[in-house]
Structure 1
């Protein structure tokens, strides 16, 4: 794989700040966008900026929108191996199992608000879920609709399947909702084993695949997963575009209610009567859609497929191992979250500094570790608690301890890793409240 040729397709990497190149290591939050995705989004606004939707705009622009959305949905169907539509639906949608949402957060909420829970039902998560896969269940519990249970995830190959079995045998769990790859530490759920055990006890499974899609090969049919949530902004795609995958038979269940209703979800309406809803996926895609984002999403998965997910995985894991070697001399300065084996962290390196109150003055701004790396070396990493506040609170790691997460993707190279390691070495050598200059 020619990394330099690939990097040339990402215009953001050509920028300089203060006369220095950027080092982008925040792909677990947001990946950069290649030219092909930018062009796909732009082409909608430039060439056919019209309404799509069944029977909505039957002119040339409208047909072009519908055709482009169809192709994007088909690209995503292939990417995750969702089932194709049968012959009755194939003319209008390539699959009934791929629903467009704003992001994985909305996709999870579609399931949370639509799933036909019985009285007394429980939802099982892990102890290190992103807030997007925690808050919806906490809200439902507060409303008295479910009980929310959780188990300790562990940090890699120590996931306790026997504890999962005990909970499934003891509790009325109707839905298991777990993150596939943790955005906290990169650890991977043994998804196939979890799904098999959940199904054996009559529970459905929702995988939060926001951090795994584009990093790991995903085959929803082989996994036999019931629901899966994805965010395209973590897959070189546009912001505001996500996917809910769901088995067709679950979406066809009339008890599974859409999160929103309105335009483009109905076949007919009449005063004094309930709406006559369309079938999936349209029943779950209310109103005017983000056509530019959807078209860009299709371009993004085609871009990833053109490289190959397995090649991306190998590249990212090799770079993460290189990072681990480079920062090994600094290991007394921080705790590394997640598996010791860098190849099991899926491109993520999360550090919790042992020294408390690691801050510096950059001119007149008091900033923490992540901001220091940015302002001193153009190294862009994530700080804070990574939307996993509940795990940090439970672990006893206080907010006064600085944290940062470096996350890699296909466009990163060894030079990025070297710059990060050098900047980190300078960071841990700082005196508290040391005055630092900004970049020129």
Structure 2
């Protein structure tokens, strides 16, 4: 387990909710921010606030240096070959939409196939639905195993020579399943398809090496990995990005503008139209520094241990169902569950009254809810600042909720 001193870096955790010390178990939705990220944002706005790339004055140079330094930190964090392959975007959703609208529109035609799975977040379903409708393509789904994992055999059955795009989440935001992306990428490439990875739930929790995975695109968000909201990353292989057209046009991304035609800047700036997300990028760079100081391997180990402890403790509660792999080694640090016939929103409300924050609903994964044969679930998601004591508080809160609704019903 990580040192409990890590909690002291997160000022928001030092408060009471409804008269109880806060236990924050909703990091899969958004993580809390350490003081050094808050300070990085404050320092930019207090000392360096200026637009980037365009100016020659000192503030503009300092802002540009901070912005581009953050890009290089991202490059190193995911082991991209070049900063040209790192595009700053608003988040995972925007990045996935950009791939669908730019690469997808140019490379997918009538009768071609796009392959995803039943566990995908809506952000990795709807862009492909829209592309398939526009192009007359076929959207295909890989079914899941009973424990919510993916079988490579089923992946091979679904991907064919007509498949142009395979887009799969690295880690499920509901089941916690960690998918074999490297092996799936090999299968996709053997059929000439490109591999798109939704890394929103992976980037905060485990070390990502895009060269080792050999994926063609990777999307992730800063706000789930201790960074600010409104900043995310699209990684793409340089040769693919060079052949793609921007989908947003305007200032910053242009090289030359004539009356009737224009040309674009080189990578990565041709995809960053308008004033970029300067403060967000600088904050993301500070978040990466913070995570690297802890060590991604240490973070992954901590979460596996905490998820294992949570599943063990939660399994002691009669009538509580846990979804996803029961092997903590196959899942990230979250436990999604339902308590008897109690609606997850009611469970979450009782927990909140005791200072415990969990998520309840369909988690932007309605096809998966249908596959699980439930309308919604509750989810406790852990991060570097959570401890076994937090899990114990959760279990105590669930026992209180169970007793309360047993009396009510």
Give the TM-score normalised by structure 1.
Answer: 0.89
- Of 375, 382, 386 in structure 2, the residue corresponding to residue 412 of structure 1 is 386
SS of 2:84's partner is coil
Q: Deviations over 1:126-163 (max 9, x none)?
A: 01100000011111222235321111133669522222
Counterparts in 2 of 1:316 and 1:137: CA distance versus 1, 3 Å: same
The residue aligned with 1:291 is 278
**What is the deviation of 1:384?**
0.3
Size of the alignment, in residue pairs?
406
Residue of structure 1 equivalent to 2:306:
319
Alignment of 1:19-418 (within 5 A): 19-53=19-53, 56-84=54-82, 95-115=83-103, 116-120=106-110, 121-154=112-145, 158-169=149-160, 172-253=162-243, 256-272=244-260, 274-330=261-317, 332-355=318-341, 357-358=342-343, 368-375=346-353, 377-398=354-375, 403-418=377-392
Q: 1:155 to 1:133 in 2, by over 3 A?
A: farther
- Give me the whole-angstrom Cα distance separating, in 1, the residues matched to 2:346 and 2:58: 53
CA contact (8 A) 2:114 2:165 kept: yes
**What stretches of structure 2 of length at least 5 have no aligned partner?**
none
Specify which structure has the higher proportion of helix.
2
Q: CA-atom RMSD, angstroms? A: 1.8
In 1, the alpha carbon distance for the partners of 2:81 and 2:209 equals: 10
How far apart are residue 430 of structure 1 and its match?
1.9
Contact 2:19–2:355 under 8 Å retained in 1 = no
Mapped to 2, the partners of 1:155 and 1:39 lie a distance apart of 46
Cα deviation, 1:144-201, whole Å, max 9, x if unaligned, reads: 35321111133669522222222223x5111100000000110011111100111011
Q: Which runs of 4+ in 1 moved over 6 A?
A: none
- Out of 381, 403, 427, the position equivalent to 2:401 is 427
TM-score (norm 2): 0.95
Residues 1:192 and 1:135: Cα distance change in structure 2 (over 3 Å): same
Unaligned runs of 5+ in 1: 85-94, 360-366, 436-440
